[in-house]
Chains A and B, each alone.
Chain A
Amino acid sequence: MSGAADQMSDAELVARTARGERTALRLLFMRHHTRVYRFVVRQTGSETMAEEIANEVFLEVWRQAPRFEARSQVSTWLLGIARFKALSALRKRKEKALEEGQAEAVADSADTPEVSAMKEDKATALRGFVNHLSEEHRTVVDLAYYHGKSVTEIGEILSVPIATVKTRMFYARKKLGEALQAAGYDRGWP
């Protein structure tokens, strides 16, 4: 735990975690937890699930740190783990709901994005439209705009080809544009 700040990279913290240094893992947690948590909330729609899954992500780092090969950024690795765990949790929740005979989804009683948009300014409307994208489209948008990930990194996190990432981004942006137009806002494309 000495040396210049720049030397304490995420990769070094993972290496120290691999040697059993819990302080290093806690530092990684403090650096990345908020982003991981937000990513999982956006995946699952549940803050309770996200809290549990985010913890699981960093426990997984504790277990897997010796096998981390630094081929990708640590943040990309973390989001990949988070994505996998979120999907697993959602699958379990769905199975449980089916077993219990519950409705698969609860109808959203709120205004549709289009209706809400008429009441709000364009920026606020756009926030609503981003939130109402399908999960796979919103995830790509989040990973690019909020997490700053490249096409290749998003492909790694989602385990999909690069072309799929681009196609999803295209349709996500197209849907945002169409929603804005439908709500009466100018939009040059599509």
Chain B
Amino acid sequence: MSENPQSNRRDRLEALLPFFLNGTLSGAELREVEEWLASDPQAMASLAEAEGEYSATLADNEAIRPTDDALARFSEALAEEAGPEKMAKPAFRERLARILPAFPVQAAWVAAGLALAILVGQTVWLGLSQTEQYSVAGAEDDDAPFAFVTFTAEASMADVSALLDESEVEIAAGPLPDGLYRVLIPAETAAQYDEIVAGLERAGVVETVVTGRKPGDE
């Protein structure tokens, strides 16, 4: 390509290798790269070099971390842009609000025995903090598979506790705006992830599941 980029086949194929690696090459270009890799020993060496570049670029990018409060800052900016939001509290919160005042605080925590109760109790209903805690995907537990869930109006803490225990799902952050929770999915493969998410969807206490990072996603 140094003199005429399109005339040099090797150079042209070298330029396509990154797109072969990221899986976006198709059609005639994909076939040409595959034929080259199958027929030319130098091509495999080039592919190994490109894989090294791939790893280096991933590492460079993943070393960059956004701040933990990025979502909170964005929510403030959005409120400035779009005006104050009408806060229709999720019914799950309303139900917790009815439950929690009926018990002494410590008793409620012990009875719940859940990170969920602690999270919700500390950050929303017991008023220990006026600032909701936010977390952004990729900012922490960077490699852990996760999803977002909301719970139904009828969900009790016991129901949620049982579901978390049964599915071995752990709440990593929440409540986020609109009652969302980020949950860690204990899966090592995409198939396991899908299975656990499907189980959450089938659970009567879960209203919504939105997929986040799956195993294998960088």
Binding site for B on A (CB under 8 A): 1-6, 8, 22-23, 25-27, 29-31, 33-35, 37-38, 41-42, 47, 51, 54-55, 58-59, 62-63, 122-123, 126-127, 129-131, 141-142, 144-146, 148-151, 153, 163, 166-167, 169-171, 173-174, 176-177, 187-190
Contacts and interface: CB of A to CB of B under 8 A. Distances in A.
A188 B55 contact: no
Contacts of A171: 1
Interface of B: 1, 5-6, 10-12, 14-19, 21-25, 42, 45-46, 49-50, 52-62, 64, 66-67, 70-71, 73-75, 77-78, 81-82, 85, 136-139, 147-148, 150, 176-178, 180, 182, 197, 201, 207-212, 218
Contacts of A51: 66-67, 70, 73
A174 B46 CA distance: 11
A8 B17 CA distance: 33
A167 B64 contact: no
A8 B146 CA distance: 15
Contacts of A148: 22-24
Contacts of B5: 166-167, 170
A123 B139 CA distance: 24
A146 B55 CA distance: 9
23 contacts: A1-B178, A1-B207, A22-B177, A23-B180, A30-B136, A41-B64, A51-B66, A55-B77, A62-B78, A129-B56, A130-B56, A130-B60, A145-B18, A145-B53, A146-B57, A169-B15, A174-B14, A187-B49, A188-B42, A188-B49, A189-B14, A189-B42, A190-B11
A155 B52 CA distance: 24
A62 B212 contact: no
A126 B53 CA distance: 7
